[in-house]
Structure 1
Amino acid sequence: MIDKLDSAFRFHQEALNLRARRQEVLSGNIAHADTPNFKARDFDFSSNLAQAVERGRQSQSMSMATTSSRHLPGEARAVGDAELMYRTPNQSSIDGNTVEMDVERVNFADNAMRYEANLTILGSKIKSLLSAVQ
């Protein structure tokens, strides 16, 4: 039963994690809009989501080393970082900065909207499972 619940929510969990990571990357680009020679970064969401879901199915886990018998054993899933790529600018800048504020703002707003949509879908899925249990 737990495996079915885990598989039902794994996709949304990975999608939310990647959306949050992409939001961090995009906000970093916006923060460095005036930094000379800063290169804008981003990653391909769909390919990273497929890789993350596949990693979750294989359920790789890492255990922490304990140096004392009083330490609590811990275990965590191995999380691969999304492969960041440099963005090619549409219009070059004299100072070498590749951040284009219009592009970043559009990507930031689009990613935020999709994050909210994922949360809404996940919430409705949880509500339907709760109503089935009741």
Structure 2
Amino acid sequence: MSLFRMARQQMNWLGDRQTVLAQNIANADTPNYRAKDLKAVNFERELRDIQPVKMQATSGTHLQGTVRKPDHRVEELRPREVYETNPNDNGIALEEQMMKVSDTQMKYQLASNIYNKNMMMLRTAVGRSGQ
């Protein structure tokens, strides 16, 4: 159930980010307005709190699976400084904001698909796949 919680949390965050980005675009001509963005959710910390699901062995011949941790480390990217200003002296580059909106939309669709696919698997497991 923690997967559902995380997908829902990601969709909520992405919805809020879309609102902030829309405000940036709406204020593109507002003098001295600075672009804003939400602080990203630390999903690495969220994943650490999830307890792994143990597979049930119904036969003595079943193997116990193992989970390997990835060998690479995730580095945090620093936000890029905006060098472009428009005549109103604000730091909003519409192209950059539109790319962020598109990225947010794709991530929302991914989280929604993960949520829906897991819901379908859960329904199949309880024998209600047609509903």
TM-score, scaled relative to structure 1: 0.64
Q: Which residue of 1 aligns with 2:115?
A: 122
Of residues 6, 9, 15, the one that matches 2:10 is: 15
**How high is the sequence identity, in percent, across the aligned residues?**
28
Q: Give yes or no for the alignment of 1:31 onto 2:26.
A: yes
Cα deviation 1:66-117 (Å, max 9, x = unaligned): xxxxxxxxxxxxxxxxxxxx97323133422111000000100110111011
Unaligned runs of at least 5 residues, structure 2: 51-78
Cα deviation 1:6-33 (Å, max 9, x = unaligned): x231110110110001000101000101
Larger strand proportion, structure 1 or 2? 1
Of residues 92, 96, 110, the one that matches 1:99 is: 92
- In 2, the alpha carbon distance for the partners of 1:20 and 1:109 equals 12
Q: Which residue of 2 aligns with 1:62?
A: none
Unaligned runs of at least 5 residues, structure 1: 58-85
Q: Which residue of 2 aligns with 1:133?
A: 126
- In 2, the alpha carbon distance for the partners of 1:23 and 1:107 equals 9
Q: Which residue of 2 aligns with 1:112?
A: 105
Structure with the bigger RCO (C-alpha within 8 Å, sep 6+) is: 2
Superposition misfits of 4+ residues, deviation over 6 angstroms? none
Q: Which residue of 2 aligns with 1:90?
A: 83
Matched length: 98
CA RMSD of aligned residues (A): 2.4
